[in-house]
């Protein structure tokens, strides 16, 4: 008597290659949208960039404001957002990403909930601790959590780079623009 050899794991929603998933049917014709669900990301980035552009263009600016003014950096973000969106659209149009082609496994769903939890948890921790920890430490924690969510497994390198980036942003805002970000523990006040 033979025993079943399927390695299907329902909790993870995955199935190793070489075995037939219980929900798998015959090979179906793939549509143009197959492998291009990532187009949602540039759509969201473009929508946010448009929202930021409208807010920047309708901003009331006092007369006699010196260069660069309050609209300079938001407009840089708008341009960067549109460029990033265009590059992502071009990528997904030229190279559709089918999950089964990216790994040795087939997937019932391919949402990476671990990455979502790391990123969402990082944003939540950032929002809850920015006053206590200050911008440099809270932003570094956020950057590290996002890097971890996207698959980086070099914590020492990630936290070092995160501290460097958050410190540079802190200096750019406080010294370059004269805007005070929360200093928190490093500033001796909370």
In this prediction, residue 11 carries a pLDDT of 43
> What's the pLDDT tens digit per position in 170-186?
888 887 777 788 888 87
Using alpha carbons, select from 114, 86, 91 the residue that is nearest to residue 36.
Answer: 91
- The percent of residues in the chain predicted with pLDDT above 70, rounded, is 76
Q: pLDDT confidence of 22, banded at 50, 70, 90?
A: very low
More confident residue, 188 or 112: 112
**105-107 and 14-16: which strand pairing?**
antiparallel
Per-residue confidence (pLDDT) for residue 185, from 0 to 100: 82
Q: Which of these, 176, 182, 106, 119, lies nearest to 151 by C-alpha position?
A: 119
| pTM of the entire predicted model | 0.52
pLDDT band at 101 (very low <50, low <70, confident <90, very high): low
Domain boundaries defined on the chain: 35-98, 112-189
23: pLDDT strictly greater than 90: no
Tell me how far the alpha carbon of residue 58 is from its chain's centroid: 28
| CB neighbours of residue 118 within 10 Å | 19
**Confidence band, pLDDT 50/70/90 cuts, at residue 150:** confident
CB atoms within 10 A of CB 18: 10
pLDDT of residue 124: 92
Residue 39 confidence class, pLDDT cut points 50, 70, 90: confident
pLDDT at position 109: 55
Least confident piece of the model among 33-42, 73-82, 135-144: 33-42
Contact 109, 23 (CB under 8 A): no
């Amino acid at each position: 008597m033979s025993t079943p050899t399927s390695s299907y794991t329902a909790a993870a929603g995955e199935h190793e290659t070489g075995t037939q998933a219980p929900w798998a049917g015959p090979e179906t014709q793939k549509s143009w949208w197959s492998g291009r669900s990532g187009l949602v990301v540039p759509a969201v980035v473009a929508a946010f960039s448009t929202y930021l552009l409208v807010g920047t263009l309708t901003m009331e600016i006092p007369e006699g404001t010196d260069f660069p003014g309050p609209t300079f950096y938001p407009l840089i973000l708008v341009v960067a957002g549109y460029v990033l969106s265009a590059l992502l659209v071009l990528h997904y149009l030229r190279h559709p990403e089918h999950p089964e082609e990216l790994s040795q496994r087939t997937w019932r769903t391919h949402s990476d909930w671990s990455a979502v939890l790391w990123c969402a948890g990082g944003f939540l921790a950032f929002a809850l601790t920015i006053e206590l920890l200050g911008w440099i430490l809270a932003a570094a924690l956020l950057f590290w959590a996002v890097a971890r969510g996207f698959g980086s497994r070099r914590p020492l390198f990630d936290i070092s780079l995160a501290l460097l980036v958050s410190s540079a942003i802190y200096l750019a805002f406080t010294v370059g623009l004269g805007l005070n970000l929360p200093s928190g523990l490093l500033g001796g006040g909370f």
